[in-house]
């Protein structure tokens, strides 16, 4: 059983430029005091491990590779990257991420964000679940 959790969803189709953070949308479910949404990011409060699951449906605006990367405090989390190469613009693709991050001390907080690289895309859906273990 987790101590805190949040589920956010961005279901409004919006174009996101290359190297921009994808907005996490709105908080649909939340409990506990260790995780909260702050605008386009999610803040993790307190010591411990946090399990992150992301599902994204993207339609690149041009042919090429679209990449989604999970970041902690603006730095890419090792292994938290998903990519897909599409042959035509507007071809929808689904990307998924699952990773763990850690806050080392009780007074620490960190910020999770999700970066789009490769090619600009219309984000049709971004669902994020974070659980404090």
Structural domains in the chain, CATH included, are 4-132 (2.60.120.40)
Strand ranges in the chain using DSSP code E only, listed in sequence order: 4-10, 14-16, 20-21, 26-31, 35-38, 41-45, 48-60, 64-72, 75-86, 93-103, 109-117, 121-132
CB neighbour class for 42 (10 Å; exposed up to 12, middle 13-18, buried from 19): buried
Read off the pTM: 0.94
pLDDT tens for the chain, 133 residues: list them. Answer: 568 999 999 999 999 999 999 999 999 999 999 999 999 999 999 999 999 999 999 999 999 999 999 999 999 999 999 999 999 898 999 999 999 999 998 788 999 999 999 999 999 999 999 999 9
């Amino acid at each position: 059983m987790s101590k805190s959790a949040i589920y956010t969803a961005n279901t409004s189709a919006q174009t996101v430029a290359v190297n921009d953070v994808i907005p996490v949308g709105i908080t649909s479910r939340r409990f506990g005091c260790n995780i909260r949404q702050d605008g386009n990011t999610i803040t993790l409060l307190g010591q411990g491990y946090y399990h992150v699951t992301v599902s994204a449906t993207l339609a690149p605006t041009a042919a090429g590779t679209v990449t989604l990367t999970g970041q902690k405090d603006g730095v890419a989390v090792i292994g938290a990257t998903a990519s897909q190469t599409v042959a035509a613009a507007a071809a929808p693709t689904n990307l998924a991420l699952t990773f763990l991050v850690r806050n080392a001390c009780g007074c620490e907080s960190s910020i999770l964000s999700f970066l789009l690289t490769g090619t600009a895309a219309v984000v049709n859906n971004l669902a994020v679940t974070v659980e404090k273990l």
